[in-house]
A and B are shown apart, each in its own frame.
Chain A
Amino acid sequence: MSIQAMIDEWYPVGIFAQLDEAGRNTMLMGEPIVVTKDGNARVTGRNGRSLPVKVRYGHVWTSLGEPKKDLFPIPEADQPGRRFVDVGVVRVRCSPLRAVENFLDIAHFPFVHTDILGAEPHTEVQNYKVEIREDVDEVWATQVKFYQPQAAKSASGGITTEYMYRVAAPTCTVLYKTCPPRPTEWDVITLFVQPLTEELCDVWPWMALFDDETSMTDLIHFQQTIFLQDRSILENQIPRLLPLDPGMEIPTRADMTSIAYRRWLKRHNYTYGAQLVAQ
């Protein structure tokens, strides 16, 4: 494990709209921090040191180091007509990297999100494209297609849904998904992961959707449903840390995004929450 390569990254530590003066006592990569509000957001680390702060995508972001880059862009966050959904925190006893990797996976839909995001016999994962975009240093998977039995609350039948996946930071990932009311746009669903320790994380899903029909509470509950179905998987993977040793877990073609993600982590030495050598 090395904390160094990941220390200058931005991490989500709270929903901005929910901050109060009393503050939120939490942790970032093992260091106790306090997130408070005095007009803007403030984050204090060990021994009262002030940490850098950004408020973006509904959340407060901070870093234990000195961020060299701005927070990754999500242009859709500034697009008129979208609804922005703070889904709320869920704690998971797993590596932050495992939480991201699960989010990048579609093959589990029929078994874990049964009758919502997938259903037998529609289990096949067709080939898709994966690349590491060197200019932005991000992992991208495109032309990902999967049969979804209930595409939206209003949909009566199944459709083939198209997805694009993007890893924008070691513990932050963005999903672009077919948007039924606007075929030319993508719905944006993110998973922002706050690493508390290498084996414990707070997960902050956030969405930017074109949907004027569904109530905000329904939108929140749909995403909470999906994530809570994943949680019982994430807490039962062995080891808790994400293995980067290729001999430890066997991927197939369906796992190309996960393979690229693991390679990218290794290349950058992003190993907080990873296991380098099989034990």
Chain B
Amino acid sequence: MHTLTTGPWTPVALSADLPVGTVIPARIPAGSIALWRSESGRLSASADRCPHRGMSLSHGFVRGENLSCIYHGWSYARSGKCVRIPAHPGLEPPEAIRAKTFAVEEAGGVIWVATDEAATTPPVLEGLMPLRSMTTSAGIAAIEAAAGAKATAEGLVVPAENADTLCLLLSARDDGQTLIHVLLKGETTADSRIAASRVAESLRRAAEDLQKKGIAA
């Protein structure tokens, strides 16, 4: 079992994949979260469950500075406090109605979420430019074997054959899947970025092959 030490922080998504006014699903060790960016650009992470009837909030929608549940339109502020219950327009929602929230930080194009109250800040990834995120059924050992390189404590793997151009930021999830953020090094062009995306696809394929054969188990 690999333990990556990014402290309480999990790299959950790339900034570019969460435009203003949208919500996406993500996972941290504490469970599923709804990750959203308000119209003014402020990031938030809340438990992916509306306290009303348990509906997944990542299926909801962002209007202004609030996240709304798709089921009954209950809206939540960044603090997690319920601010609107459309069935009762005149009602000020009680303080007790809250979605649990988590600390979020964005650095270098990567969005990090902390499980606990974070006293630290997420790791800084110097000189790396995010390309894309992908999910794999392969574990970290299989990915390391496919890449021919070991992961650092922060979960960074530099594939042996592409050491000058590519770096993978790995995050093991509780469902056995691994989230891979593909990062680029140095100067890039549109063509080299496309080439790097294809290399990452091949690495994933190789890692899943190894995982299936149990070689990296």
Residues of A within 8 A of B (CB): 105, 107-108, 110-112, 120, 123-125, 232-233, 236-239, 243, 248-254
Contact = CB atoms under 8 A, between A and B. Distances in A.
Nearest to B89: A124
Contacts of B96: 250
Contacts of B54: 237-239, 243, 248-249
A252 B51 contact: no
Contacts of A111: 70-73, 86
Q: Is the interface of B mostly helix, strand, loop or mixed?
A: loop
A239 B55 CA distance: 9
10 contacts: A105-B72, A107-B72, A107-B86, A107-B87, A111-B86, A120-B86, A232-B59, A238-B56, A249-B51, A254-B88
Interface residues of B, number: 22
B215 interface: no
A120 B73 CA distance: 10
Interface in B47-63: 48-49, 51-56, 59
Contacts of B70: 111-112, 233
Given A111-B70, A111-B72, A249-B54, 11 more contacts: A112-B70, A112-B71, A124-B88, A125-B87, A125-B88, A232-B59, A233-B70, A250-B52, A250-B97, A252-B52, A252-B88
Given A123-B86, A124-B89, A110 B73 contact: yes
B56 A252 contact: no
Shortest Cβ-Cβ A-B pairs, 6 listed: A123-B86, A254-B87, A107-B87, A125-B87, A236-B56, A237-B54
B85 interface: yes
Contacts of B53: 237, 249
Nearest to B73: A111
Contacts of B86: 107, 110-111, 120, 123-124
Interface in B145-167: none
A123 B55 contact: no
Nearest to B85: A252
A243 to B, nearest CB: 7
Contacts of B91: 252
Nearest to B97: A250
B73 A123 contact: yes
A107 B73 CA distance: 9
Nearest to A237: B54
B70 to A, nearest CB: 6
A237 B59 CA distance: 11
Nearest to B68: A111
Nearest to B53: A249
Nearest to A107: B87
B59 A124 contact: no
A264 B173 CA distance: 40
A250 B51 contact: yes
Interface centre among B52, B73, B86, B96, by most chain A C-beta atoms within 10 angstroms, is B86
